[in-house]
Every structure is written in C-alpha cells, then in structure tokens.
Amino acid sequence: MKNLIRLFLFALILNALLSATLAQGTSYRHRPAPAAATTIAFKQFDDPYSEFRNASYSNAGLLNERDEIKLGTQLHREVTKKFNLTDVGLDRVDRLGQRCARASRRPNLTYKFHVIQSREINGFSLPGGHIYVTTALLKLANDNELASVLSHEVGHVVARHSLKTLKKSKEYDDIATSLGDLTGVAGGVARDLGVALGQMIGAGFLTVHSRDEEREADFLGVRAMPAAGFDPQGMVTMFQKLGRIEEEDSDLLGSLFSDHPDAQERIENTRYEIARMRRR
C-alpha cells in the first residue's frame, strides 16, 4: 500500500511537470505572424510524420495484452466513479468507432466506446481499448469529424501510448505484479490497485500525451479514415471547429484538446497526409 501512495505522489508530480511543459508549449499559439509563416513554409517541404511511417506496434516490452485489458477494466471502473456516463449518442459513437477500430493497425482488440455527459468538448482513451467522448463533442461534430476524433483515440491505443507512459513510472513493477495477481474485480489487490489507478485518472497521468504522441495518433487516425469509409477531410474541419472554439470560448475545450498541439499545425499536417494518400 505504501508503494501505491508513493505511486500517487509520483503521478501528481509528473502531472505537474507535464502541465508546466504543456503550458509553455501552448504559448506558441501567440507567436508573432512572421515566425509562424516561416514555420508553415518549412512544413510544406517536410514530412511531419516521417518518424512514424515505418513504426511497428506490439506489446513487446510493455504489459502483455491480457494484463493491458485487465488494467483497462480497472481504469474504466475508476472513470465511471469520476464521470457521468450516459447512453445518449452511444449507438452513434459505437457504430462509427467500431469502423475506425477495424480499419486501424490493431483491429483484433475489443474496443469499448463510452459517452460522458459534459459541457466540455473532450475525448480520451485508456489502455485495453476504452475510448471516451463527451456529449458536447457529439453535438459539435458531424459523422466524419467524430470519426476523426475516434480514429485519433484508437491511434493512441494502437501505439500503446498510455502503456509506454506507465512503463516509465518507477512503480511500474508493482502495478504489473498486482495485475498479474488480479483474478477478479473484488478483493484486496483489486481495491489497492483501484485506489492507485483512480488517483492516476484524477491526475491525468495516463491520458495526457506528449506532442509527438499526439502527432503519431493524428497520423494513425487520418490514415485509417478512408479504409473505415470516412472522409479524412473531417479531421481538418474538426480541427478548424476546435480552433474556432479555442479563440471564442476556450473554457469549453477539455484539457485534452487544449493541451494538444497547435490546431493550425495539425490542420497543415492533416492536409499534407490527405494529399499524400491521394497520390497513391
């Protein structure tokens, strides 16, 4: 139990560090126009996704898939305690989401889509294929736009981003051992693990990603959209809507969108990839 408390403190500190880094990062939005123009011009000649094109994905070196799914079940239980889940819009999210999942580079995992009742526009994913979007996001997005968010979140699951974050924590071994010992949702092991994981959810430890991870999820997301039967242009118009809201009423943007890379950069990167897909 002491280890779990240490884990929580570690998660809090890491989260504070991450928030500070992200806060610095978001100030790019207000850079002067000439600097932005230079960056944009440079980007046109530069493949924003070069480092991801030959990536391969597996659980090697991370929690195995069985334990990842167990972890996801435990984390989801904590999410249900912290957020109001609803059936409103769930059919639509599941229908579109399953198409994105099947077209992804991890099609054999069982994905579970969930809707959170909230006026914040937000979406996130957890290990084991749990993906969440808010009712406010559902209202804002048409089907192609919603699919772009779901496909992006599936991308985080494909690339095992949360598992990689977990692996870097020094209490990883304790959690891995607990998951190995875990046979059901009842009992002391589940209870202690639940407390630690609940605090991780609260601190955003597993749902806040680096900018490179966001770029990778965008890449995996937009690549899967045509195969899933969606217009990848929906990702561009989604970012445009988010960018507009960020300017008008940024309080409506959940931390996950406000912490994501600059909307304009994401629009340019997405357009680059759509043009590239059309050439092939």
Binding site for Zn ion (CB under 5 A): 214, 217
Q: Which of 54, 147, 48 is nearest to 96 (CA)?
A: 147
Q: d(Cα 117, Cα 272) in Å, to the nearest integer?
A: 34
Cβ 181 to Zn ion shortest distance, Å: 31
Cβ 207 to Zn ion shortest distance, Å: 9
Q: Considering beta carbons, is residue 157 or 217 the nearer one to Zn ion?
A: 217
For residues 55 and 105, the answer to whether their CB atoms sit within 8 Å is no
Cβ 216 to Zn ion shortest distance, Å: 9
Cβ 83 to Zn ion shortest distance, Å: 17
Q: Considering beta carbons, is residue 70 or 161 the nearer one to Zn ion?
A: 161
Token pair recorded at residue 43: 């980007």
Q: Considering beta carbons, is residue 165 or 178 the nearer one to Zn ion?
A: 165
Non-local CB neighbours of 127 within 8 Å, separated by 6+ positions: 63, 68, 69, 71, 72, 75, 157, 160, 162, 163, 166, 206
Cβ 149 to Zn ion shortest distance, Å: 9
Q: Considering beta carbons, is residue 131 or 217 the nearer one to Zn ion?
A: 217
Q: Considering beta carbons, is residue 74 or 122 the nearer one to Zn ion?
A: 122
Helices in 27-160 by DSSP H: which ranges? 33-43, 65-82, 90-102, 135-140, 143-158
Which residue type, as a one-letter code, is found at position 226? P
Cβ 214 to Zn ion shortest distance, Å: 5
Cβ 217 to Zn ion shortest distance, Å: 5
For residues 219 and 274, the answer to whether their CB atoms sit within 8 Å is no
Q: Burial level of 92, CB count in 10 A (0-12/13-18/19+)?
A: middle
Q: d(Cα 62, Cα 55) in Å, to the nearest integer?
A: 16
Cβ 279 to Zn ion shortest distance, Å: 26
Q: Which of 154, 164, 158, 104 is nearest to 133 (CA)?
A: 154
Q: Considering beta carbons, is residue 193 or 206 the nearer one to Zn ion?
A: 206
Q: Considering beta carbons, is residue 6 or 105 the nearer one to Zn ion?
A: 105
Q: d(Cα 212, Cα 52) in Å, to the nearest integer?
A: 10
Token pair recorded at residue 80: 């249900």
Q: First CA to last CA across the chain, in angstroms?
A: 55
For residues 242 and 176, the answer to whether their CB atoms sit within 8 Å is no
Q: d(Cα 266, Cα 107) in Å, to the nearest integer?
A: 25
Q: Considering beta carbons, is residue 214 or 262 the nearer one to Zn ion?
A: 214
